[in-house]
């Protein structure tokens, strides 16, 4: 089939690889424009952008698809279908209507739960026991279109957003490829979504990542998992070398009672509003991830030390 691919992060890049390997013709790739990143703030191309260049596929990076010119350029590709995965732009109705068979989206949740921008993170932050990917036909509403195919996976108690992302990408690529094969044969069937149980996976805001030790340990454990490895749940404290921000990438819920934000031993057990959280892997600003034992060397976080509870 003649496909227009629309996606941005690694989650989508794996799908693009699968589509090309199945022999479909990718007329063009749409992805987010390069953005400043890293210490030098040099412009960085998306994972999909880099892959498309290696594959020799034309790349388009519009900041919007609302103009008649952008919509005419898209329609001129004469695609059978557009495949969308974590693209990052809303698709106006003329874009949705342009391909012969419309636009298929690979969405990283079990719809109607977690419609929106951050379904993987929100599922873990909410303590969900299960997630999955779905192939749906896009319509004007936000992730409200009918669903064709589903693949499910359990969310283990210690699974991070990064790990769930990789698992869903692994499930999603062959699922969408199968959908394209069925579509080509006229055998792809859709079931309307129910609105019952629908919830919105809003974009992660910076303020959400700050650890408030007054919350229950289980909630903070899910926060840590849901924001690991990016953007990372964090606390700020003076641990003997001035105030610094520390991301917590892995933790474990344990028994413990004390003033929230207070160390209950010398090995990174921190009291929470209910229970305690054992810090396992952390990351200092500008440094790599490290085990808590390495981090604690030379830092004052012994029993009784207080982290800023809600700075």
**Tell me: the pLDDT tens digits for 15-38?**
999 999 999 999 999 999 998 876
User: Of all helices (H) and strands (E), which one includes residue 249?
Assistant: strand 243-254
The answer to the question of residue 310 being in a domain is no
N-term to C-term CA, the chain: 54
Single out the residue in 165, 200, 235 at which a domain terminates. Answer: 200
The answer to the question of residue 307 being in a domain is no
**What is the average pLDDT across 3-25?**
95
The answer to the question of residue 23 being in a domain is yes
Mark 81-105 as b/e (b = at least 16 C-beta within 10 Å): bbbbbbbbbebbeebbebbebbbbb
pLDDT in tens, 78-130: 999 999 999 999 999 999 999 999 999 999 999 999 999 999 999 999 999 99
The answer to the question of residue 301 being in a domain is no
Q: By residue range, what is the domain housing residue 272?
A: 206-296
Q: Is the pLDDT of residue 300 over 80?
A: no
**ω before 229 within 30° of 0 (cis)?**
yes
Residue 147: the pLDDT is 98
Residue 239: the pLDDT is 78
Residues 303 and 281: their CA atoms lie apart, in Å, by 19
H-assigned helices in the chain: 10-21, 47-55, 68-75, 93-97, 119-125, 161-184, 217-226, 292-296
Give the CA-trace dihedral at 173, 177, 179, 180, to 10 degrees.
140
Residues 225 and 152: their CA atoms lie apart, in Å, by 19
**What is the count of structural domains for the chain?**
2
Single out the residue in 200, 230, 258 at which a domain terminates. Answer: 200
The answer to the question of residue 31 being in a domain is yes
């Amino acid at each position: 089939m003649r496909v227009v691919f629309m996606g941005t992060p690694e989650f989508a890049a794996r799908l693009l690889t699968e589509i090309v390997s199945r022999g479909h013709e990718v007329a063009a790739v749409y992805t987010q424009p390069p953005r400043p990143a890293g210490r030098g703030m040099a412009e960085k191309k998306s994972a999909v952008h880099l892959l498309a260049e290696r594959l020799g596929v034309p790349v388009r990076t519009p900041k919007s698809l609302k103009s008649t010119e952008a919509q005419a350029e898209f329609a001129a590709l004469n695609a059978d279908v557009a495949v969308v995965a974590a693209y990052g732009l809303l698709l106006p109705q003329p874009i949705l209507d342009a391909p012969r068979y419309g636009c298929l989206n690979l969405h990283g949740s079990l719809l109607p739960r977690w419609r929106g921008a951050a379904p993987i993170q929100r599922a873990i932050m909410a303590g969900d026991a299960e997630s999955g990917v779905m192939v749906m036909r896009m319509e004007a509403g936000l992730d409200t279109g009918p669903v064709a195919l589903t693949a499910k996976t359990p969310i283990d108690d210690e699974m991070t957003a990064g790990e769930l992302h990789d698992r869903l990408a692994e499930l999603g690529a062959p699922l969408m490829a199968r959908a394209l094969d069925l579509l080509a044969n006229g055998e792809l069937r859709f079931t309307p979504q129910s609105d019952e149980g629908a919830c919105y996976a809003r974009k992660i805001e910076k303020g959400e990542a700050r650890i408030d030790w007054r919350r229950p340990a289980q909630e903070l454990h899910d926060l840590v998992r849901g924001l690991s490895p990016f953007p990372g749940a964090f606390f700020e404290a003076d641990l003997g070398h001035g105030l610094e921000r520390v991301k917590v990438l892995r933790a474990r819920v344990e028994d413990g009672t004390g003033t929230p934000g207070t160390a209950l031993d010398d090995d990174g057990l921190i009291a929470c509003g209910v229970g305690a959280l054992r810090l396992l892997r952390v990351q200092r600003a500008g440094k790599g991830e490290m085990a808590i034992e390495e981090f604690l060397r030379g830092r004052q976080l012994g029993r009784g030390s207080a982290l800023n509870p809600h700075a």
